[in-house]
Amino acid sequence: MAITGSGSLAISLSVFVISAAFLPKGAAETVTVEGQNLATDNVSVIEGEMATISCRVKNNDDSVIQLLNPNRQTIYFKDVRPLKDSRFQLVNFSDNELRVSLSNVSLSDEGRYVCQLYTDPPQEAYADITVLVPPGSPIIESREDVVSEGNETELTCTAIGSKPAASIRWMKGEEELTGETTVEETYDRMFTVSSRVRFSVTKEDDGVPVDCIIDHPAVKDLLAQRHLEVLYKPEVKIVVTYPEGLTREGDNLDLTCIAEGKPHPHQINWLRVDEDVPPHAVVTGSDLYIENLNKSYNGTYRCVASNAVGEAYDDYILYVYDSRAGEGAPQKIDHAVIGGVVAVVMFAILCALIVLGRYFARHKGTYFTHEAKGADDAADADTAIINAEGGHNNTDEKKEYYI
């Protein structure tokens, strides 16, 4: 206990919650008495935690201050504690503040506390303490453990023993659901809250979590979760294992029936719609095998799968072609390869044309040059022609003789 100075004091109430899990919002609200220098706070505190009661006074004139409980019993008179409740401890006493801690707060501590300043006339400031009680762990229950697709299910979530009453929200996966809420007040202003939600399910809901989320000022991240278990009829698909292309006379046919459901299909049957299955067809589990096909086997073949929820089927239409069907069909052409070859050929032709053009142009110019050689110096036209054609002078000229 520490005592420093003297003078008029004031008392204010505040709460420090020493728990990371419980963080009440708006824990303190300052209350100031108008026309006075006395101030105090309204406080929300979680049951079992500690409150710090602090009274503030400005410009004190050595007036005496005391703190009273809701029954107007004196807790502290200056720095002396007349009340024999050891949960109250002096934290600080000075000219401007009297601060007292209250540990292990209970519902019985809730009420209006009084800071009283002995002036003329006396001044009072009031601090309302509200005790918050978090709910227990929520309980989520289902009307049935498993539900079949298309049917309605019902879930109930209960939050027991909270103050004030908790609120409940529902989430199915990422979807928010709307529930019907019932609030019941029990004892000591405690509340039990229940919420009920109903919805129809599909096979896509199988395994989806449903969350019951509790909202309360004294607690965070409080929820209960339940995963839906949905039964649904099989999903059926027929896969052609052989052949890969056309079904021709003389070929064999191999079909596989793939069926998935919950529970797993306990029975898979093959049949031919409106006709009997060929006598030599072989059914092995989910496979149907027919050898040496002929056109009399044409028709619709059906795979039927069933479980406790229901049954479903898939159809395969068989059409048997002639044994030589498709043989005259052109081979599959790779248009990309053909396009590439054509492009290369066209490029080669273009290059050849360019080279030939340049060659002819060059030789054509040489011809005209030779044709004109010696023409400028000729004495007459005949000489010019002779010089241009042969490029030789008259001395090389051949002569003819007649005998």
**pLDDT for 23:** 37
Give backbone dihedrals phi and psi of 335, rounded to 5 degrees, phi first. -65, -30
What is the tens place of the pLDDT at every residue in 3-38? Answer: 333 333 333 323 222 222 333 433 556 655 544 578
Q: How confident is the model at residue 123 (pLDDT cuts 50, 70, 90)?
A: confident
What is the tens place of the pLDDT at every residue in 270-311? Answer: 999 999 999 999 999 999 999 999 999 999 999 999 999 999
Q: Where are the domains of the chain?
A: 37-132, 136-228, 233-318
Do residues 267 and 305 make contact, with C-beta atoms less than 8 angstroms apart? yes
Residue 248: both structure tokens together: 């021709």
Residue 88: both structure tokens together: 């109250």
**pLDDT for 246:** 92
Q: How confident is the model at residue 87 (pLDDT cuts 50, 70, 90)?
A: very high
Q: What is the largest CA-CA distance in the chain?
A: 177
Residue 401: both structure tokens together: 């003789």
3-state helix, strand, coil in the chain (%, to 5): 15, 45, 40
> Percent of the chain beyond pLDDT 70?
79
323 has pLDDT over 50: yes
pTM, 2 dp: 0.64
What is the tens place of the pLDDT at every residue in 157-204? Answer: 999 999 999 999 999 999 999 999 999 998 778 999 999 999 999 999
Lowest average pLDDT, out of 10-19, 98-107, 152-161, 239-248, goes to 10-19
**pLDDT for 359:** 79
Partners of 171 in the β-ladder: 176, 211
State the Cα–Cα distance between residues 226 and 209, nearest whole angstrom. Answer: 6
Average pLDDT value for residue range 335-355: 85
Distance, CA of 105 to chain centre: 43
CATH superfamily entry for domain 136-228: Immunoglobulins (2.60.40.10)
Domain 37-132 in CATH 2.60.40.10: yes
Q: Are 136-228 and 233-318 in the same CATH fold?
A: yes
CATH superfamily entry for domain 233-318: Immunoglobulins (2.60.40.10)
> Which amino acid, residue 9?
L
| Pairing relationship of beta strands 51-57 and 13-15 according to DSSP bridges | antiparallel
Q: What is the mean pLDDT of the chain?
A: 82
